[in-house]
Amino acid sequence: MSRKKYTHLFFDLDNTLWDFKANSRLAMHSTFQLMQLEEKGVDFEGFFDLYSKNNSDLWGAYRKKEIRKKDLTTQRFKLTLDKLEINGIDPAEMNALYLSEMPKQSKLVDGAIDLLDYLKNKNYQLFIITNGFSEVQYNKLKSSKLLPYFKKIFISEEIKAPKPAREIFEHAIKSANARKSTSLMIGDDLEVDVLGALCAGIDAVYVHHSNIPDVEMKHHKKLNKRYLAIAELQELKARL
């Protein structure tokens, strides 16, 4: 990524600004207790690990438009409950409870507010491009007090094109009245955020949080001249 003057900054939400890993665990633990699964002799750690894998796999299929929203939200719990042979729990009810608990969590990635304050003071125009469900994502932004920082929020469910699809980036650029040449995408997922933006002709920053799996490192080495990789959000201050 070459150093130049950017005017429009597009942020991913989950695990870039809003700490999805920590918050989803807290929300699931609350759901787990409310559903009284512990009384059924279910181990939370095992449940959460299995759910996380099922959820990740289903989101991958959803991004490829292989399944619908309804399939994702019910199957991620149904598959988990079935695998652990847990009876008497309605997957749809558990999903609804989990989604209601999720936005109540408000832990942010370290340095998020400090960076956003810095960027606001520098008069950058800030936006969100996020995959997810509209009501949940908006509630996350509100409960964590992130919403006032952003001029517009672009959510895949509303646009009907999840990242890394080119359409969501094109829509965001047009709606923000921005130019690709002075726009920058900032996210934690190399394929979904970074490569998606690059394929749409937008520069990108990869926030890897000092955790680059082997498969991502291969892409990183191959494309390191096309984007900036940073470990922490604070590193952006030196670049913007």
Which residues form the catalytic set? 12, 14
Contact 123, 8 (CB under 8 A): no
CA of residue 81 relative to chain centroid, distance: 25
- Residue 217: CA count within 13 A, CB half-sphere: 5
Beta carbons of 17 and 11 less than 8 angstroms apart: yes
Q: Which residues, 6+ apart, have CB-to-CB distance to 133 below 8 Å? A: 69, 99, 155, 157
- Assigned token pair, 228: 């900036």
Beta-carbon contacts of 93 under 8 Å, excluding residues fewer than 6 positions away, are: none
Of 178, 210, 212, 218, the closest CA to residue 197 belongs to 178
| H/E element, 27 | helix 20-34
